[in-house]
Amino acid sequence: MPQQVNPRKAPPLLEMTAIVKSFDGQRVLHGVDFDLCEGEVHILAGENGAGKSTLIKILGGIHRPDSGEIRIRGQQMEFRSPREAAGHGVAIIHQELSLVASISVADNVYLGRELSVYGWMRHGAQSAKCTGVLGRLGLQLDPRRMVGSFPISIQQMIEIAKALAHQAHILVMDEPTSALNELEVERLFACIAELKSHGCGIIYITHKLEEVYRIGDRITVLRDGVMVATAAATAMPAGSLIRYMVGRELADHGGKRWRRPSVRGPLLLSLDNVRVNASDRRRRPLVDGVSLNVHGGEIVGLAGLQGSGNSDLLWGLFGAYGRRTTGTISVCGRPYQPASPRKAIRHGIAMVTNDRQRTGLVLNLSVAANTTLAALPQVSPGGWLLAGREMQLAAESTRALDLRAASLRQSVATLSGGNQQKVVLAKWINTRPRVLLLDEPTRGVDIGAKQQIYELMGKWREAGHALILITSEMPELLMMSDCVLVMHRGRPTALFDRGEVTQEGRHGRRLS
Amino acid sequence: MQPLSRLPSVERSSVLGAIRHHPAATALLALVLVLVIGVVFHADHAFYKWSTHRDALRQASVFGILACGMTLVIIAAGIDLSVGSVLGLVTVTFSLLSIHWAWSPWAVIPVCLLIGLACGALCGALVGRFRIQPFIVTLAMMVFARGLAKTVSGGMKVSTAVQQADGTYQFVGVPPIFQAIDSRLLGGNVSVVSLIFLACVLVSWIGLSRLRWGRYVYAIGGNEEAARLSGVPVLAMKVGVYALAGLFSAIAGICQAAQEQQGDPEAGLTYELSAIAIVVIGGTSLMGGRGGIGLTLLGTLIIGYLEKILSINAVPEANRLMLTGAIIVAAVLVQRRKS
């Protein structure tokens, strides 16, 4: 691979050479080279399990490499702890933020290195300094407010501010946009531009192709622990990037659209004036006045920003909000009043939540136990759990999804994100649902797994199920949906049939 | 044929690895260590006598029964501080009904078990329905049940000395049910209390490992929200788990009353802490979602033997307590290093 940096010039900000790492005798990194220049956004791409996280954890001092070198500005480093790495200017912004929600912004930003005189806090000086750091990111907020009172997107900025306050110049961002809406993503990108202009180097991990080309200067692709390509972003078009990542050709995932069936299936889900009340009755309902018919073999997309109530509609229908959902609802022709997830499952409804770790999986149970959790009565007649039947059910459902796991008995926590998502889907396959509510079913999974999830949705559609899909990735929504319901502040604002919807059209609608 | 020739070595290493990584391995190792200590400090061959082992198990049984219920609650990511007080309440009730009121054991035992069930179910309902922290709910029940025990007993031990109408005390005979529970079987080699403990272990094991119910307990302990969204009836499960812990406390209370031949309203003070210690020493995580009843059986044996070995060597109680504290920390440290 051509080296970007002339060795006669100043050494690059970060150089990692021939990094090797094994876990339990299994080699996950086979001598990976990686470097980062000042003022550069370097995209680290690769499928789940390619070794990206391991490489980042080595950089962050969480793991130690078996062999290989790390140099920062030409100086050889050996990080024995995350603290040492942080001391040399490495900051990792994890997907799960590491802020203390119950203390103030300033206290978070200076946590561990408070401004104090003999242990006596200098709150005023700290707040002032904090305001300065936030200002560098274009953020104007009260540093004395509690972190937990801000939305996730702002918390992420605070996390970045914390890194800046600690003089970090190597920032690693691991899928920073997975929980952000479009406006917030723009704000983050503006902030990244700001960091670049200050000479920070940024390692950016993402599964979203648009982002790669929006902000990436250079791309490095890992596959199975080997660096397969590194090049300027302009020199690596999307097609070859995917090929490098997956190692094979994929059908053009952007252009494929479902053919509308000639005959409409039966009406499976009908909503009339559905309302989901907030837990506090005096507040505005989360969802108000939604009427919608979903036929068998149809995928309805729900568009809307975070807080528009589209997720709440699914949670409400599934009974996750108890009896706070009102309105006339029928499922498969039978009247249905949401009360609990248990009742919803009995009525043939399944829901894939948007956060598999928090609400989808029981991480310390095995793969098999997770796939059968919602369908346990099937394999436990009279309450007596039949291990053989359970394994059979688990094996059938995971085989259909091409799940890659060494054993069905292993803990589901050990799987990669894409495979964990497949376990969630397998769980709902096993309940034999007719109506599927999918909230971000492809969040945080790699392109190969995404493709398989699309195929599964296609299969469900062909089998005559009714699907409702929420996704923050516009191309995905447009590709998969037969029609799109747009929601804003809990109310439906427009219903588009397919063909009418384009990405630009939706923007125009939202602004009007 | 090549794979076949390689098979044995692969097989053996994986079996060894499985044993080494099994959560019970550390607990088993600790138990073996304790037994080795017993062999070394055998106190004039007292440790080699079967009666020593029989008594070690018998003395640990009441704690073990409490620990069975505690294990269920802890796997469901809860905690039950009320087991000791419920035990006290049941010893008092059991003695009062059997000795003073001369009820038939066929009536007394169900009443006592129901009291335990009710105390536990109330805790479970408060935890599950109103989402109050288990620590707070069971702390309240601990205080309440102790108070109830003192009310029922009038603040005095309920013994075979029964106060008459004229204020004098008259001794009555010990009811046969007390003697039956405190007796030994198989030529005096096994205590009935120990058998009751083992039966509790067996019932808990079946519940946790062989029933759908147990899978739900682990699921709730591991991730309550995911379990709820998968259709697990969380409220009913919590009521059930705490009710079972209450039931086990009642069984332990009956055993305790039979062994002491009286109902002491102070009985079971700090027993909840011993039960938690047993569960933790076995290796069940206080975080919930992990562990098992087999570990608790090992934990009970570790604590039981340790106590016995210290007592046959006439180690003063003060030193025993300090040693037990140190061992709890050591056990947890060893387990953490493994994971």
Which of left, alpha, beta for B338 (phi over 0: left; psi -120 to 50: alpha)?
A: alpha
ipTM of the complex: 0.83
Convert the pLDDT of each residue in A459-487 to its tens digit: 898 889 999 999 877 778 888 888 889 88
Could you give the CA distance from residue A448 to residue A246 in angstroms, rounded to a whole number? 7
Residue among A437, A507, A446, A436 at smallest CA distance from A478:
A507
Which phi and psi (to 5°) does residue A103 adopt? -120, 170
Is residue B332 within 8 Å of B279, Cβ to Cβ?
no
For residue A358, the chain B residues in CB contact (below 8 A) are 223, 225-226
Q: Does the distance separating the beta carbons of A384 and B210 come in below 8 Å?
A: yes
Nearest-by-Cβ selection for B227 from A351, A362, A377? A362
* Chain B (265-304) residues lying within 8 Å, Cβ to Cβ, of chain A: 289-290
The identity of residue A456, as a single letter, is L
- pLDDT value, residue B10: 36
Residues of A in contact with B226 (CB under 8 A): 358-362, 373
Average pLDDT, chain B: 87
Alpha-carbon distance A290 to A486, whole Å? 11
Considering only alpha carbons, which residue of chain B is nearest residue A373?
B230
pLDDT, tens only, A126-158: 899 899 888 877 778 888 899 888 887 788 888
Q: Indicate the pLDDT class of residue A225, thresholds 50, 70 and 90.
A: confident
pLDDT band at A7 (very low <50, low <70, confident <90, very high): very low
pLDDT score recorded for residue B257: 93
- Please give the structure tokens belonging to residue B59: 């003395």
* Alpha-carbon gap: A217 to the closest alpha carbon of chain B (Å): 40
Confidence of residue A509 (pLDDT cuts 50, 70, 90): very low
Choose among B213, B214, B219: nearest Cβ to A362.
Answer: B219
Cβ pair A383:B211 closer than 8 A: yes
Instruction: Measure in Å the smallest separation between the Cα of B106 and chain A Cα atoms.
Output: 29
How many contacts does A have with B, using Cβ atoms within 8 A? 76
Q: Chain A: give the shortest CA distance to residue B67, in Å.
A: 22
CA B169/CA B161 separation, integer angstroms: 6
Which of B210, B215, B231 minimises the CB distance to A341? Answer: B231
B225 touches chain A (CB under 8 A): yes
Domains present along chain A, CATH in parentheses: 96-167 (no CATH), 267-511 (3.40.50.300)
Question: pLDDT per residue over A368-386, tens digit each?
Answer: 999 999 999 999 999 999 9
Contacts of B232 in chain A (CB under 8 A): 342, 373
β-strand partners of A23: A26
Nearest CA in chain A to B210: A385
Cβ <8 Å between B289 and A362: yes
Q: Please tell me the distance from the alpha carbon of residue A345 to that of residue B227, in angstroms, as a whole number.
A: 13
- In this structure, which amino acid lies at residue A150? F
Averaged pLDDT for residues A393-420: 87
Q: How far apart are CA A288 and CA A274, in angstroms?
A: 6
Q: How confident is the model at residue A272 (pLDDT cuts 50, 70, 90)?
A: very high
The answer to whether the Cβ–Cβ distance between B211 and A361 falls below 8 Å is no
B107 touching A, CB under 8 A?
A: no
Global confidence as pTM: 0.80
Asked if the Cβ–Cβ distance from A342 to B223 is below 8 Å, we say no
pLDDT tens for residues B260-301?
988 899 999 999 999 999 999 898 988 899 899 999 999 999
Cα gap B78→B70, rounded to integer Å: 9
Check if B205 contacts A (Cβ < 8 Å).
no
Give mean pLDDT, residues B213-239. Answer: 95
| Interchain CB contact of B222 with A (< 8 Å) | yes
The DSSP bridge pattern shows strands A226-232 and A334-335 to be: unpaired
Q: Which residue has the tokens 């929601």?
A: A487
Q: What residue ranges define each of the domains in chain B, with the CATH number in brackets?
A: 27-338 (1.10.3470)
Contact check, Cβ <8 Å, A345/B231: yes
Contacts of B164 (CB under 8 A, 6+ apart): B170
Cα distance from B288 to chain A (closest Cα, Å)? 10
Separation of alpha carbons A293 and A267, rounded Å? 7
> So what's the pLDDT on residue A9?
61
pLDDT digits (tens, 9 = 90+) for A494-504: 888 765 554 44
Min Cα distance A95 → chain B (Å) is: 19
Best interface-test mutation with A: which of B212, B220, B234, B237 has the largest number of A CBs within 10 A? Answer: B212
Residue B98 φ then ψ, to 5°: -75, -45
- Subunit contact B223:A377, Cβ cutoff 8 A: no
Query: Binning pLDDT at 50, 70 and 90, where does residue B17 land?
Result: low
- Sorted by sequence, the CB contacts under 8 Å of residue A430 that are 6+ apart come out as A371, A372, A374, A375, A378, A393, A397
Q: Please tell me the predicted confidence (pLDDT) of residue B249.
A: 97
Cβ–Cβ below 8 Å for B223 and A376: no
Which pLDDT tens digit goes with each residue over A328-375? 999 999 999 999 999 999 999 999 998 898 899 999 899 999 999 999
Q: What are phi and psi of A366, to 5 degrees?
A: -75, 170
| Mean per-residue pLDDT, A308-334 | 92
Q: Over chain A, what is the mean pLDDT?
A: 85
Q: Determine the average pLDDT of the residues in B246-251.
A: 97
> Is B328's Cβ below 8 Å from some Cβ in A?
no
Residue closest to B333 by CA, chosen among B287, B273, B280: B280
- Residue of B212, B225, B226 with shortest CB distance to A377: B212
Instruction: Give the percent of chain A with pLDDT over 70.
Output: 91
φ, ψ at A301 (rounded to 5°): -90, 140
Q: Given this model, what pLDDT does residue B15 score?
A: 60
pLDDT at A394: 94
Query: Can you tell me the distance from the alpha carbon of A415 to that of A485, in angstroms, rounded to the nearest whole number?
Result: 34
Q: Do B212 and A380 touch (CB under 8 A)?
A: yes
Q: How many CB atoms lie within 10 A of CB A133?
A: 21
DSSP A382: G
Q: From residue B1, how far is each of A325, B11, B280 by CA, in Å? A: 64, 16, 48
Please name the residue of chain A whose CA is at the shortest distance from the CA of residue B207: A384
Q: Give CA A345 to chain center in angstroms.
A: 25
User: Residue B197: its pLDDT value, please?
Assistant: 96
Token couple for B336: 């953490």
Which residue in chain A is spatially nearest to B216 when comparing CA positions? A373
CA pair distance A32, A52, nearest whole angstrom? 10
B234 touches A: beta carbon within 8 Å? no
Residue B121 at interface with chain A, using a CB cutoff of 8 Å: no
User: Using CB atoms, which residue from A342, A358, A380 is nearest to B231?
Assistant: A342
Spell out a b/e string for B85-121, using b for 16 or more CB atoms within 10 Å of the CB, else e. bbbbbbbbbbbbbbbeeebebeebbeebbebbbebbb
Residue B121 above 90 pLDDT? Answer: yes
pLDDT tens digits for range B168-184: 888 888 888 888 888 88
B207 in contact with chain A, both atoms CB, cutoff 8 A: no
Task: Determine the residue type at A206.
Answer: T
pLDDT digits (tens, 9 = 90+) for B72-111: 999 999 999 999 999 999 999 999 999 888 888 899 999 9
Looking at residue B265, what is its pLDDT?
Answer: 92
Give the contacts of A56 (CB within 8 A, at least 6 positions apart): A44, A92, A172, A174, A203, A205
Is the distance from CB of B58 to CB of B194 less than 8 angstroms?
yes
φ, ψ for residue B324 (rounded to 5)?
Answer: -60, -45
Nearest CB to A360 within list B212, B222, B226: B226
pLDDT at B31: 87
- Could you tell me which residues are beta bridge partners of residue B296? none
Locate A423 and state its tokens. Answer: 């376990």
Stated length of chain A: 512
d(CA A503, CA A505): 5
Q: Do A358 and B226 touch (CB under 8 A)?
A: yes
